[in-house]
Amino acid sequence: MNVEVRGVRLAIDDVVIVHDATMVVAPGEVHGLVGPNGSGKSTLLRCLYRALRPAAGTVLLGGADLWRDLSARVAAHRRAVVTQDATADLDFTVRDTVAMGRTAHGGLFGHYAQEDDRLVDAAIAEVGMTWAARRMVATLSGGERQRVYLARAVAQQAPVLLLDEPTNHLDVHAQLELLGLVRDAGLTTVVALHDLDHAAAVCDRVTVMRGGHAVVTGAPADVLTPALIEDVFRVRVHVGTHPLTGALHLTFAPLSTTPKEPT
């Protein structure tokens, strides 16, 4: 399922946060939203998962207007969400938390309880958390919790996945594992990321945001150039190939850094 954002303007307390944003995400594509703090990434995602209505413009999921054509329940059939720093489910077990992803389909107490059970178990297994199914979410590490929230989204069986900075507060190993799971899910994915190197390695395309504007969209190798990164992020960058993975690899330095003379 594709996602289209057409001329979206978003405001909070009459202050415009996102100005005339436009982007298209193809079916099955992992699409990154990148930009400095305060650039509007999370605000745009809030619009995509129906937490913030646009003041102007249109969001389409599979050709249907998210706000005019789809009820909240039907929209939940089309997109699943992993937000920042989720804490509301800490007092539930892993399995109960993942089962919440089936609520949009009638829950575990409807006519399809057996199918719900199967999908919940499969989602937990997909993220490698079967061993913790009976554990309380509060007892897990940050990386393990994010896996659980991703499993809940997978169990929802929605074709579109929205993630808001899912690697926040995770160590390097947990970050890479989580991004690998997102990549392998095979869903149409929009993910806000702080780490440009992660975006370069994981995303099929990226949209760079600055000051609430979608500056440019394209493949990471075409968009994340030294000139653009210096202009938008105010850092210098070396663009190369990762020696272990072969993926696009970015190395950063402050603008004020002077290269050292060889000794």
pLDDT score of 85:
63
**CA separation for the pair 163, 179 (Å, rounded):** 11
261 in a structural domain: no
Q: Examine residue 259 and state whether it is found in any structural domain, yes or no.
A: no
Q: Is residue 149 part of a domain?
A: yes
Per the structure, the complete domain to which residue 198 belongs is given by 3-254
104 band by pLDDT with thresholds 50, 70 and 90 = confident
Task: Note whether residue 42 is domain-resident.
Answer: yes
**Strand, helix or coil for residue 151:** helix
Is the pLDDT at 263 greater than 80? The verdict is: no
pLDDT for the residue numbered 252: 92
The answer to whether position 262 is within a domain reads no
Q: In this structure, is residue 95 part of a structural domain? A: yes
Q: What confidence score (pLDDT) does residue 197 get?
A: 93
Is residue 46 a part of any domain in this protein? Answer: yes
What are the pLDDT digits (tens) for 55-94? 999 999 999 999 999 998 889 889 999 987 666 677 899 9
Q: Which helix (H) or strand (E) holds 164?
A: strand 160-164
DSSP SS3 for 216: strand
Residue 3 has a pLDDT of: 96
Contact 148, 94 (CB under 8 A): yes
Using a pLDDT cut of 70, give the percent of the chain over it. 93
Average confidence score pLDDT of the chain:
90
Mean pLDDT in residue range 188-202: 94
Mean pLDDT over residues 102-118, rounded?
71
Own/partner pairs for 228-234, CB < 8 Å, 24+ apart?
A: 229/196, 230/255, 232/35, 232/36, 232/208, 233/36, 233/196, 234/36
Q: Is residue 209 part of a domain?
A: yes
Quickly count: other Cβ atoms within 10 Å of residue 25's Cβ: 23
CA distance linking residue 158 with residue 111, whole number of Å: 19
Total number of domains in the chain? 1
Q: Taking 70 as the threshold, does the pLDDT of residue 258 lie above it? A: no
Going by their DSSP bridges, the two strands 188-192 and 160-164 should be labelled as parallel
Q: Which residues contact 116 (CB under 8 A, 6 or more apart)?
A: 99, 102, 105, 106, 107, 108, 110
Q: What percent of the chain has pLDDT over 90?
A: 75
Banded pLDDT at 232 (limits 50, 70, 90): very high
CB atoms within 10 A of CB 240: 10
**Quick one: pLDDT at residue 259?**
60
For residue 235, the model assigns a pLDDT of 94
From the list 217, 162, 164, 153, the residue with the least C-alpha distance to 188 is: 162
pLDDT tens-digit profile of 126-174? 999 999 999 999 999 988 999 999 999 999 999 999 999 998 888 999 9
Which CATH number belongs to the domain containing residue 191 in this structure? 3.40.50.300
What confidence category does residue 107 fall into, taking pLDDT thresholds of 50, 70 and 90?
A: low
pLDDT at residue number 136: 95
- Band of residue 115 on the pLDDT scale cut at 50, 70, 90: confident
Q: Is the dihedral of CA 248, 252, 257, 263 positive or negative?
A: negative
Given a contact cutoff of 8 angstroms between Cβ atoms, the answer to whether 97 and 135 are in contact is: no
Q: Long-range contact list for 147-151, CB < 8 A, 24+ apart?
A: 147/177, 147/178, 147/181, 148/89, 148/94, 148/97, 148/98, 149/82, 149/86, 149/89, 149/97, 150/82, 150/178, 150/181, 150/182, 150/185, 151/94, 151/98, 151/101, 151/123, 151/124, 151/126, 151/127
Q: Evaluate if residue 21 carries a pLDDT over 70.
A: yes
